[in-house]
Amino acid sequence: MLTTGRCPRRRKATYNVRTRQFIERAALSAALSLSLLGLGTSAAAADTSAPLPISSYRDMAVDAVHQRVFLSDPFGDSVVVTDYTGQVVKQISGADGAWGFALSGDSRTLYVALRDAGAIAAIDTVTLQETARYDTGTGAGAYAGPTSLALAGGKIWFGYSLDTWRGALGSLDLSGAQPVVTRNQALDTFRGSPRLAATAQAPNTLVATESDGNTAAVAVYDVGNGQADTQARRVDPGPDGCESLQDVALTPDGQQVVVACAAARYHQALRTADLADNGTYTTSGSPTAVAIDPAGTIAAGVYGPSSPDVHLFAQGNPTAYTAWDFPEPSDYADTTLVSGGLAWAPDGSRVFAVTETSGSSSLTLKVLNHPRVDTTVTVQAPASSPRNQDLTLTGKLEAPVGFGAGNTVDIWRIDDPMAGEGTLIGSASVAADGTFEYTDQPKAKGDVQYTVQYHGDTRHESAYGSVTVHVTSD
């Protein structure tokens, strides 16, 4: 027999079956109450909302190691640093036309595209001081300097403008004794400085997009050999085309590109291999931002005062499992998400959103806590198994949002369910898709119950599942 439900967080060497049965009934009652009230997966209100000392914005990077958020201020020539509650830690000046960011894999260095200096700056994330500046050789200014950065193929890639009508890709290689800049890649593809996206799990894949205000172009490159080798290219992608592209993101597995095109009423998904249509994420309003966390959860932001501003989706599911609607300060003012104004904390615990209020010249950083969603554990095992022989349990954690890597479940065994004592016999690693496996050698004959316990995390409620196996003689 299979059961599922929530479980207590406290771990013990043994537990009593009567206690467990009471917990099961209480958990089921609580779950039903939440379901009837419609509160099972409701989003928490924004924990914090802090004003920013800037009136321009282009990009955001989140440093999980030091719990810092970096925001670019291109027209104020600065980089603003906040903590995880949105409180300003420092405003770094002298960043001429600070536009796009790329954070090193070890979170030690933030690279900043300085459009108005024609350079890329390196900022130490501990001291918050600029430690180096690399000339890109592109020239400086609105139709020359670098604007977007991405780490791929062991290099820092940047998008820049050749002139008023053309854009290109360049790369900065810091692996040798001297920095090496390579320019003029992907020529005749973009009509302006391209926006870039990459993911650590697909290190040789680089996505570049551009929009001239009408139709957008999207391209995918293999940069593993040091050059941008075109794998796929498409103009005006999506079922209804893509006008005025606002943002782009690549899923962690590198299999899907998600774009926010202002003219649509959904976020479009494209298959990375060939940029064919690969589904949509239904939103209400004009798409203006997209960000994807390491577990594949998609945050899709829209511009529209009469609809939810930020929606969350499990990868591949077109329906949002929760959403936030920003409160309006008055009947005469609207609070809206800015273009490209979303970023995840790498652990998926919260979403950072940059907003603006009509009639105000300043911006605000909102911190949105991810709701703890209901989770289930299913467990499978043979109906019977010989004593002192390998018995393999398999199962899966399931929830509206992915689990990522690094999770474990505890395995309890009750050799005699009627006696009331259970023993913690081990733990099993959970794969990114939620599956797990554990092998035991039961000693006692008769019915043996196995209970798998997940203790929850910042995004998932605790849960358990059980299965009973009849153990026979050797």
pLDDT of 186 reads 87
- Exposure string for 64-79, b = 16+ CB within 10 A, e = fewer: eeeebbbbbbbebbbb
pLDDT of 17 reads 41
- Looking at the structure of the chain, the number of domains it has is 2
Can you give the CATH number for the domain in which 208 is found? 2.130.10.10
Claim to verify: residue 63 and residue 109 sit in the same structural domain: yes
Q: Which two tokens mark 130?
A: 């600029």
Claim to verify: residue 287 and residue 325 sit in the same structural domain: yes
Claim to verify: residue 273 and residue 331 sit in the same structural domain: yes
Q: Which of 369, 394, 423 is the last residue of a domain?
A: 369
Claim to verify: residue 35 and residue 68 sit in the same structural domain: no
Q: Which of 329, 345, 369 is the last residue of a domain?
A: 369
Claim to verify: residue 364 and residue 269 sit in the same structural domain: yes
Dihedrals φ, ψ of 93, to 5°?
-90, 175
Claim to verify: residue 137 and residue 255 sit in the same structural domain: yes
pLDDT per 10-residue tile (average), the chain, 474 residues: 38 41 38 31 59 96 97 98 96 97 97 98 98 97 95 97 92 96 89 94 95 84 95 92 93 95 92 96 92 94 84 92 84 85 94 90 92 93 95 95 86 81 90 93 92 91 94 88
Contact 301, 341 (CB under 8 A): yes
CA–CA separation, 427 vs 317, rounded Å? 30
Claim to verify: residue 34 and residue 64 sit in the same structural domain: no
**Which residues span the domain enclosing 207?**
48-369
Claim to verify: residue 276 and residue 378 sit in the same structural domain: no
Dihedrals φ, ψ of 80, to 5°?
-95, 135
pLDDT of 334 reads 84
Claim to verify: residue 299 and residue 443 sit in the same structural domain: no
Q: Which of 338, 369, 400 is the last residue of a domain?
A: 369
Rg (CA), the chain: 25
DSSP β-ladder status, 155-161 and 130-135: unpaired
What pTM was estimated for this model as a whole? 0.82
Claim to verify: residue 427 and residue 467 sit in the same structural domain: yes
CA–CA separation, 102 vs 34, rounded Å? 41
Claim to verify: residue 202 and residue 74 sit in the same structural domain: yes
Can you give the CATH number for the domain in which 22 is found? 2.60.40.10
Torsion of CA 265, 266, 267, 270, to 10 degrees: -110
